[in-house]
A and B are shown apart, each in its own frame.
Chain A
């Protein structure tokens, strides 16, 4: 894992920059924001310790928050997502388990598996994020539709990145 540290740091920086400089300015249909930076948590190796996930989620969310003046919002959503990741992985585990030296990626486990894996986590992250942003339950269904649509867009973006850019 030590060997991959520079690569993950680079991924982290690139994703944060893309998110902050590019995606934060994208407003599809007026109120749909894709959040692709969660790809960082999605692509962490299987062997990452659970506490490490939480710490990295915290750092990632806080970094995004600091750039978009929403301290705590993305942080809490990222931590939530990091918390769910091991459970989702266990639920989607193939019959013979995850191979060593493999990553949670399209290349190693196929598009269908990756779609389910990232879809669940992205939707969970977006739901958490949008509800903590609105911070009330009065516009429940409007917030729900916003979260689901934004989640779908983020998923499309992330699949696009996974399939065509990052091998």
Chain B
């Protein structure tokens, strides 16, 4: 108490000055627009910086927790990959996997070369024998079927385009299930024809044509195109003009279809035809 009094006695002038000056500056800031706004801006700035620092410190202190969470997430993702993606690379695993009974396996490929204006059009893809591509495999895109692999080298494969008059694909009408032989018209890259549909089948324009799955090249249900025109041919069958769902002019990403059970199917079929 004594020392406090002495302190006050000694510094009362300075303290009084600070008091008065504080009062004056308070008046200044309260009554003058410009000083007020700059004062507010200044304090807001300091506040912002302070919060910035505290957030940084908080983040630093939480690093351990964050690390743990990231590790857990990492493990989950790794497990997910091991479960879902790693196994697909190993095709043998899938064949003996009776739980999934997977019949088709897809290889992603990119179109390197493509022609549409010739009578016999071919496509070159960037995946070959090394990626597991073999002749007679189907090629599809996200829009519909593309063609069938004809020859493979180590890293490339040549595909008979659907726009090739040599290629016939087994296709069916999605509505009724009647199937026929699909081939290219040979003229326009946008149209093909579906033959051998019985006369009595009720077909209308716009019906969807899909693969039948009989040839063991394509899975069942891959889109081929849509019925554009219906014509009677030879008195017993219809010939349908089909607009292709795949746009061959801007083909880029395709999938090569590997039928894992093809050998088995072929073997069984051959056994009976041989008899």
Q: Which residues of A contact B (CB under 8 A)?
A: 50-51, 54-55, 57-58, 61-62, 70-73, 75-76, 79-80, 82-83, 86, 132, 135-136
Q: Please tell me if the beta carbons of B27 and A72 are within 8 angstroms of each other in the complex.
A: yes
Q: Given the complex, which residues of A lie within 8 Å of B12, measured CB to CB?
A: 51
**Known A-B contacts A54-B16, A136-B38; A72 and B26 likewise in contact (beta carbons under 8 Å):** yes
Contact B16 A51 (CB under 8 A): yes
CB distance from A127 to the nearest CB of B (A): 15
B20 within 8 Å of A (CB atoms): yes
> Do residues B24 and A76 form an inter-chain contact, with CB atoms below 8 A?
yes
Bound together, the chains give a CA A26 to CA B59 distance in angstroms of 58
CB-based contact B17/A71 at 8 Å: no
Residues of B near any A CB (own CB < 8 A) = 12-14, 16-17, 20-21, 23-32, 34-35, 38-39
Chain A interface, DSSP helix/strand/loop, else mixed: helix
Give complex CA distance A71, B20 in Å: 14
Nearest A residue to B28 by beta-carbon distance?
A72
The answer on a CB contact under 8 Å between A75 and B13 is: no
Majority secondary structure of chain B interface residues (helix, strand, loop or mixed): helix
Contact partner of B24 among A55, A75, A86, A136, CB < 8 A? A75
Contact for A58 among B20, B32, B38, CB less than 8 A: B20
CB-based contact B13/A71 at 8 Å: no
Q: Which residue of A lies closest to B37 (CB)?
A: A135
- Which single member of B13, B21, B28, B38 contacts A51 (CB below 8 Å)? B13
Whole-angstrom distance between the alpha carbons of A71 and B26 in the complex?
Answer: 10
Residues of the B chain whose Cβ atoms lie less than 8 Å from the Cβ of A72: 24-32, 35
Residues of the A chain whose Cβ atoms lie less than 8 Å from the Cβ of B14: 83
16 residue pairs bridging A and B, Cβ less than 8 Å apart: A50-B16, A51-B16, A55-B20, A58-B23, A70-B32, A72-B32, A75-B27, A75-B28, A76-B28, A83-B13, A83-B14, A83-B17, A83-B21, A132-B25, A135-B35, A135-B38
Q: Which residues of B sit under 8 angstroms from A132, Cβ to Cβ?
A: 25, 28, 35
B30 / chain A contacts, CB cutoff of 8 Å: 71-72
CB distance from A67 to the nearest CB of B (A): 14
Complex: how many Å from CA A73 to CA B38? 15
> Which residues of chain B are within 8 angstroms of A76 by Cβ–Cβ distance?
21, 24-25, 28
Residue of chain B at shortest CB distance from A75: B24
A54 contacts B20, C-beta separation under 8 Å: yes
Report the nearest A residue to B35, measured CB to CB: A135
- Asked if B13 and A50 sit within 8 Å, CB to CB, the answer is yes
**A114–B91 alpha-carbon span in the complex (Å):** 105
Residues of B within 8 A of A79 (CB): 17, 20-21, 24
> Cβ of A86: which chain B residues have Cβ within 8 Å of it?
13
Max chain B C-beta neighbours (<10 A), residue from A62, A72, A80: A72
A54 to B17, CA, bound (A): 7
Contact residues in A for B29 (Cβ distance below 8 Å): 72
Residues of B near A58 (CB, < 8 A) are 20, 23-24
- Expressed in whole angstroms, the Cα–Cα distance for A75 and B25 within the complex equals 8
